[in-house]
Structure 1
């Protein structure tokens, strides 16, 4: 879709990385002209491919922020509206936003430019490879996983991203005290997330009662979430801390 270096690669990890069960399905959606223009112009400056072939230097990546600025990883940002709002509310925090949806990548870059959000970087590809291969130990101040695919059919539960192995990988780049914030409107998945996070020795629940957390002010109410609430869905937030 894009010439090398001018936009997100179709398969950034390519043959360099073992094939694995993926928690996502690449979606074929039309890229608007505005999104394509943003990708072409801004990708060389604010985008990166998750190729698993290098370790990122986060102070260099977020060169508009002080070298000691905290960096938070968001996995799965949809069209990027909520990410842009969080970046505006946290101008001193670097937001590394990972997704595989090309229209969403273009839209988030467009919003970042429009709103002057120099603290956003967009990562294209499998976030599991990013965690495992490309982030230095203790380099992240937080991890956000909002409304991941619940994979509701039992035979697909293995594709859910929040699993023990995922937390093993995430524990390495998360610094002590880093916050892990998950949210879902799929009750069975919320229960699984709570069980898996509670059982993992690297994380502790910020709730004294060991349950779900109220929605923190930093997480905006998204359009998708609003539609779910209108249908009577209950949204669960989980807020854990890296030990």
Structure 2
């Protein structure tokens, strides 16, 4: 499940409403670090790691080429993102994750596989979108299995809110995709409601708000286990329409 969550105390662009101060959509959790994860953070980070303090990026300079660009928010332990980067060498990927074990594991694995089309932020997603990624620079943004915050009193912590999807829209190219997936039906319905009211988007679904899982989204171990237990998964893909 995705571990990246939205913090609300970062600044937003003028195109998006600022969320309520102090409300966060993630909780930092302590965890043990393996030798491989420590290696990723210590040895690979200098080559593939990025920071909000680096400021606005020229993505062509960053990757040394012009190519399609996809951002994944909350890649967890990185398995899905690694699989995509390896399967699509002609696309550049940027992962955003706040938890050190996942960042370290992804960096270690990327190095072992010799991936050059992947960069990583260990920062808040909202800050990265606001300060580091140029407007109309992304071909896609992925948000897979974010924390559903199921209790009603915690719904304000959900990352999918009007201000967030508007900020994402400004970073997508016209025709760029916002792809979300969740295994919580109530959260899927929340996502669909937010997107139905979001200006400047078009739903790619033709029968209801959801689409079948596209082949390019890797099937995670978590998802396979859920399917065996009869759990559903809902995918939503919207494109920037203007």
**What CA distance in whole angstroms lies between the structure 1 residues aligned with 2:27 and 2:11?**
17
Relative contact order higher in (CA < 8 Å, ≥ 6 apart): 2
User: How do 1:94-243 residues align onto structure 2 when only pairs under 5 Å count?
Assistant: 94-243=92-241
Number of residue equivalences? 226
> Structure 1: 5+ residue runs without aligned partners?
1-12
Verify the 8 A CA contact 2:10 2:126 in the aligned structure 1. no
Once structures 1 and 2 are overlaid, which stretch shifts more, 136-145 or 227-236? 227-236
Is the CA contact 2:185–2:234 (under 8 Å) kept in the aligned structure 1?
Answer: yes
Superposition deviation, residue 27 in structure 1: 1.5
The alpha-carbon deviation at position 16 of structure 1 amounts to 8.2
Normalising by structure 1, we get a TM-score of 0.88
1:233 aligned counterpart, secondary structure: coil
Once structures 1 and 2 are overlaid, which stretch shifts more, 220-229 or 90-99? 220-229
Aligned equivalent of 2:42? 40
1:71 deviation in Å?
A: 0.9
User: Is there any run of 5+ residues in structure 2 with no aligned partner, and where?
Assistant: 1-6, 13-20
Mapped to 1, the partners of 2:173 and 2:71 lie a distance apart of 12
User: How far apart, in 1, do the equivalents of 2:183 and 2:206 lie?
Assistant: 22
The match for 1:31 is 33
User: Would you say the 8 A contact 1:50–1:127 is kept in 2?
Assistant: no
Q: Which digits, 9 at most, give the CA deviation of each residue in 1:122-167, with x for residues without a partner?
A: 1111101111222111011100000000000101100101110101
Deviation, structure 1 residue 111: 1.2
Q: Distance in 2 between matches of 1:36 and 1:166?
A: 32
Within 2, Cα distance between the matches of 1:176 and 1:194? 20
Shift, 1:222, TM fit = 0.3
Q: CA deviation at 1:35?
A: 0.9
Assess if the C-alpha contact under 8 Å between 1:89 and 1:218 holds in 2: no
Aligned partners of 1:38, 1:70: CA distance in 2, in Å?
A: 25
Distance of 2:234 and 2:30 partners within structure 1: 29
C-alpha distance in 1 between matches for 2:52 and 2:228 = 36
